[in-house]
Amino acid sequence: MRLALAGSFVQQPHSVLNPASPQARLVDRLWDAMYVTSIVVFILVVAALLWAAFRHRDSLEQADDPAQRRPLRTVVILATGLTAIILFVFLIFDLSVGRAITTNPGNDALQIRVTGHQWWWEVQYRDSLPKDWVTTANEIHIPVGRPVVFELRSADVIHSFWPPSLSPKRDQIPGNPNSLWFRADSAGVYRGQCAEFCGYQHAKMAFLIVAEPPGEFATWLAGQRDTAATPTDASARRGKAVFLASSCVMCHAISGTPAGSRIGPDLTHLASRRTIAAGTLPNTRGNLAGWILDAQAIKPGVKMPPNRLSSADLHALLVYLETLK
C-alpha cells in the first residue's frame, strides 16, 4: 500500500479547480462566475479598442464634427454604469460566499491544532485527558463528512495553512491565533503547502490531509494514541539504543521512551506516515537513511544536522524506526 503511494505522493489533488469540500466548491463557483464575466468584459473592451483604432486607420479625412460626440458620451456613460453594476453583483456574490464559508461549524466539529514550524507542521488532536492527546506531523487525518476546525498557530515566523482542494488559506501568525474550518466530502488524500514565505525551505513545507470514513479515522486515532511499540528483535533493540544515545533525542520525541523533545516532529508513529521532511520525500527506507545522514543535502537550511553513524548503527536505527507504526 505504501509502495503504491510512494511515487504519487505529490500528485494528490492540490488545486483550486478541483474542490472536495463545500467551502472550496463555493469559491470555485465564485471563480467560475468571475472568470466567464471577465472573458466577456475583456473581449468587449478589446473589440471596442480595435474597432476604434482601425476604423479610420491612418486616414487623413477631416475629423468628426463635434455633433457626433453625443452618442459617444452615451456609450462612455453606459460602459461606466455597466462596470459599476458588474462590480456590485460581484460584491454581493463575494459577501454571500464569505458568509457561507464562515458559518458556525456546529458542535460535533473535530478540533485539530496545527502549528507551523520552520519548515514542518506539528499536528495535535487534543482531548479532555492530556494522556489521550495525539501529536503527529505533516500528515493530518480527518473524518469524511464531519466539520473539522483547525486552530492555526506558529512556533516561529508566519506560515500559511493551505490545502487548495479543501479550503482557502489562513495565515499562522505568532501571537495571533487563527482558525478555519471545512468538511471533506469524499475520502482521499489531499496535498497542501505553506503559502507564506517563511525562509529557506518555504518551498519544501508541504503536508497531506488524509480524509477517511469515520470508522477508519477512529481506528487511526486510537492507534496513534498508543505509545511506541517496544522493539522485539535484536536489530530494532539496538536501533532504539542508537536513537536514545545519539543527538536524535535533542529534538525528537518517541512516546514510551525517554525521548521527549518537541523541537522537531514527533516520531512515535513515524512509520505510519506517507512522507518525511514535510511532504518532500516518500517515507521509504532509502530516503530515511539519506535524510538521517545528510538532511542538508535534501533541504538546505533545515534544522536537522548531519549524523555520522556507522553502517551497522544506521541499519539498526532504520529497522527500529520502521517498527514505529
- What residues from 29 to 88 belong to the interface with another protein (CB under 8 A)? 30-31, 34, 38, 41-42, 45-46, 48-49, 51-53, 55-61, 63-64, 68-69, 72-73, 75-76, 79-80, 83-84, 87
Largest CA distance in the chain: 99
Out of 156, 185, 216, 322, the residue judged to bind another protein by CB under 8 A: 156
Q: Which is nearer to another protein, 37 or 227 (CB)?
A: 37
8 C-beta neighbours (distance < 10 Å), count: 10
Element (H, E) at 275: strand 275-276
Residue matched to cell numbers 505504501: 2
Of 20, 21, 26, 115, which lies in the binding site for another protein, with binding defined by CB under 8 A?
26
Q: Considering only 196-204, 238-246, 262-270, 306-314, which stretch makes contact with another protein by CB under 8 A?
A: 196-204
Q: Which of 162, 161, 321 is nearest to 229 (CA)?
A: 321
Nearer to another protein, 135 or 165 (CB): 165
Binder among 25, 169, 237, 303 for another protein (CB under 8 A): 169
At its nearest, how many Å lie between another protein and the CB of residue 5? 12
Which of 10/309 has CB closer to another protein? Answer: 10
Residue range at the interface with another protein (CB under 8 A); choices 125-133, 158-166, 232-240, 316-324: 158-166
Separation in Å, CA 138 to CA 68, 191, 276, 324: 67, 10, 8, 16
Q: Which of 2, 36, 95, 306 binds another protein (CB under 8 A)?
A: 95
Q: At its nearest, how many Å lie between another protein and the CB of residue 292?
A: 20
**Does residue 4 interact with another protein by CB under 8 A?**
no
Q: Would you tell me how many other CB atoms lie within 10 Å of the CB of residue 207? A: 24
Binds another protein by CB under 8 A, chosen from 106, 132, 145, 197: 197
Interior CA angle at 110 toward 106 and 116, to 5°? 120
Nearer to another protein, 28 or 322 (CB): 28
**Residue ranges with strand state E in 97-236:** 110-117, 120-125, 134-137, 139-143, 148-154, 159-161, 170-172, 178-182, 188-193, 206-212
Residue type (1 letter), 114 = V
Lookup: cell for 151: 486552530
**What is the grid cell recorded at 187?**
475520502
Stretch that binds another protein, among 12-20, 209-217, 235-243, 312-320 (CB under 8 A): 12-20
Q: Is the dihedral of CA 89, 170, 271, 136 positive or negative?
A: negative
Q: Does 245 bind another protein (CB under 8 A)?
A: no
Site for another protein in 247-286 (CB under 8 A): 280
Q: Which among 13-21, 135-143, 307-315, 317-325 is the span making contact with another protein, rule CB under 8 A?
A: 13-21
**Shortest Å distance, C-beta 286 to another protein:** 16
* Measured distance CA(190)–CA(9) in Å, rounded: 9
Question: In the set 20, 21, 27, 236, which binds another protein (CB under 8 A)?
Answer: 27
CB of 118 or CB of 138, closer to another protein: 118
> Residue from 199, 223, 260, 286 that binds another protein (CB under 8 A)?
199
The candidate with the shortest Cα–Cα distance to 322, out of 244, 282, 269, is 269
CA dist 266 and 228 (Å) reads: 11
